[in-house]
Amino acid sequence: MSGKLYLVPTPIGNLEDITFRAVRVLKEVDLILAEDTRTSAPLLKHFGIDKKVFAHHQHNEHKSATEIIRFLKEGQQIALISDAGTPAISDPGFLLVREAIKNGLSVECLPGATAFVPALVNSGLPNDRFVFEGFLPVKKGRQTRLKELANEERTMIFYESPHRLLKTLEELITLVGEERQASVSRELTKLFEETVRGSLLEIKNYFEMHTLKGEIVICLAGKDHKI
């Protein structure tokens, strides 16, 4: 009998955001795959989860996927977690899921924490239709991707790091104009959670005067959005 691959979301900051089901699955599986075993160790210890943990990240996922598929075929139950949030959303996971499906293996993704959903809902921008872009390319292809989005009518969602936020805001101003409405959320679910809303220029001016820390989600209104 073949095993099953579980994709298990973990909290993006607040440990209370993990589900009862996620904890149960992590306690029941034979093996846990973690993006960074050092990052996951405190979380697993907090919930009393004592299982074998192997590293599965972007630098080894092609190699490790083959071995994981073999484990699954042998009947092992395996859970994949990322450092925070839902696996495969701007994190490793897609390749492994694809290989498991190709091999006729069972895959189950649990619902749970992910950063872009609360950021979008909290932005005040239209959320009936939206496009998730994740991280923009750092260098090659960056300007091409931005130009492709210039006429996008849906709300756009980006992940960004603190040290690149101001540069990205400047690029978006050049692309769509300083009056385009947006929101920037950082430290979601944590003690210093913050969402700043307004025009791109207003948001840029704000963050030029404030210290930037934490993971960041940018929500940008689509073309022709009316306030």
Q: Which fold has domain 116-220?
A: 3.30.950
What single-letter amino acid sits at 15?
L
Is the pLDDT confidence value at 1 over 80?
A: no
User: Which tens digits make up the pLDDT trace of 146-166?
Assistant: 999 999 999 999 999 999 999
pTM: 0.92
Per the CB < 8 A criterion, the answer to whether 32 and 50 are in contact is: no
Predicted confidence band of residue 120 (pLDDT cuts 50, 70, 90): very high
- Domain range summary for the chain, segments of one domain joined by +: 4-109, 116-220
User: Which tens digits make up the pLDDT trace of 90-119?
Assistant: 988 999 999 999 999 999 999 999 999 999
Q: Measured between alpha carbons, how far is 101 from 191 in angstroms, rounded to an integer?
A: 39
Per the CB < 8 A criterion, the answer to whether 184 and 218 are in contact is: yes
Q: Please choose, from the candidates 108, 206, 139, 85, the residue with its C-alpha nearest in 3D space to the C-alpha of residue 195.
A: 206
Q: What is the CATH number of domain 4-109?
A: 3.40.1010.10
- Please count the other Cβ atoms lying within 10 Å of the Cβ belonging to residue 166: 15
